[in-house]
Structure 1
């Protein structure tokens, strides 16, 4: 199985859910200078990894969703409705792999709605097991040992001979 960048998978799933729910433009990082409002920006704020038993890991990703309104004065009522929608659509995200929000919060900053959501998931690191290599003796690969201690060596044809 190929390695996936789970941070981007979660972020893209959140962007897709916001776009599908609100039918508005969603920017993946910072919004450009001239944005068409209303719109959203989704930025990754923090990602941590905690080691658990063995090869298990706990991943924690915090996303910040900012809602940019057309009119900042009328933004409070509109922001409250948008916050309720964000709580609904970001609770569970993803396609074949689902991610559930562990915590969500929102506040108004400088006339903008700032919504934070934290996703937590567990992973198991798959490490390739390194098998013991064959021993070489006098330029030939060793197959095994005879009962009397003589080394049994392999030949090119796949059969072995005693030396």
Structure 2
């Protein structure tokens, strides 16, 4: 009897806030250890003395930018800071999905609002979504299929509109 095939779910982004108490002479070592783990951005070196708790230090962490940034005016897309090449329809489709990231976008609505016609087949939308998915990293799912309905972004925090 063959062993069952276990499929791990894709990793999800998790925002974690830590409150750590440490002796003042250990803070630099602690920050170095967190940076080595990739838990701190390089810009986190700016420390500010906390007025409420003398002797403590506050690490100012910059907000992480979304992995996908769309510049609508320039019609450019950046994935983890690298520009990706999109066709006109791919950009329009991605921009439409990103404009209402929590909404499920029906295929017919996408045909009307992105293609500006109702005379293409619904499978055309599926093909364009598949090609669009292929432009991003294989391990990161950006567009979720809602079976029998349409598509939506997996997480609104993944995209930033500029």
Q: TM-score, normalised by structure 1?
A: 0.33
Greater per-residue helix proportion: 2
Which structure has the greater CA radius of gyration? 1
Q: TM-score, normalised by structure 2?
A: 0.33
Tell me: higher relative CO, structure 1 or 2? Use CA pairs within 8 A at least 6 residues apart: 2
